[in-house]
C-alpha cells in the first residue's frame, strides 16, 4: 500500500471523507463513487471526476443514503399531506363504453 501523505490541513478539513468508505454522489456531475475516491486537490476534498468542480464531502458530495437525494425508500413525514389521491390523472379514461 502506497498511501500518499496528506497534509495536516487535509486531515483536519471539515469536509474530508469518512474513514469508512461509503458510496457517494456528486451534486455537480451526478456521478456515484466511493468516498475513498474523493481526492485532496488545491486545498479541497474534490470530486475525482475529470472536469468536475464539485468539492467537499457533505458539501457537494453526499452519501447515497443522505436525505438530500429524496431517498426512495424513506417515508418522509413532510411529504404526502398535501397529496390529493382523489385528483384524477390524465390518460386513464373509463374503458366501459
Ligand atoms: Zn463531481
CA distances (Å), origin 61, targets 8, 29, 35, 81: 21, 10, 8, 30
Q: List residues, by chain if needed, whose CB lies under 5 Å from ion ligand 1.
A: 26, 28-29, 47, 49, 52, 54
For the chain, which residues make up each domain, given as ranges? 15-68
Q: How far is the CA of 81 from the centre of ligand 1 (A)?
A: 34
Q: How far is the CA of 90 from the centre of ligand 1 (A)?
A: 37
Q: How far is the CA of 78 from the centre of ligand 1 (A)?
A: 29
Q: How far is the CA of 86 from the centre of ligand 1 (A)?
A: 41
Contacts of 35 (CB under 8 A, 6+ apart): 17, 18, 21, 22, 23, 24, 57, 61, 63
pLDDT tens digits, one per residue of 18-40: 999 999 999 999 999 999 999 99
Q: What's the pLDDT band for 75 if we cut at 50, 70, 90?
A: low
Amino acid at each position: 500500500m502506497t498511501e500518499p501523505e496528506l497534509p495536516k490541513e487535509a486531515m483536519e478539513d471539515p469536509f474530508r471523507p469518512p474513514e469508512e468508505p461509503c458510496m457517494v454522489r456528486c451534486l455537480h456531475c451526478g456521478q456515484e463513487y466511493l468516498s475513498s475516491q474523493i481526492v485532496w486537490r488545491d486545498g479541497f476534498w474534490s470530486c475525482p471526476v475529470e472536469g468536475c468542480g464539485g468539492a467537499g464531502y457533505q458539501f457537494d458530495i453526499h452519501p447515497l443514503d443522505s436525505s438530500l437525494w429524496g431517498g426512495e425508500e424513506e417515508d418522509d413525514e413532510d411529504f404526502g399531506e398535501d397529496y390529493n389521491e382523489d385528483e384524477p390523472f390524465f390518460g386513464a379514461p373509463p374503458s366501459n363504453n
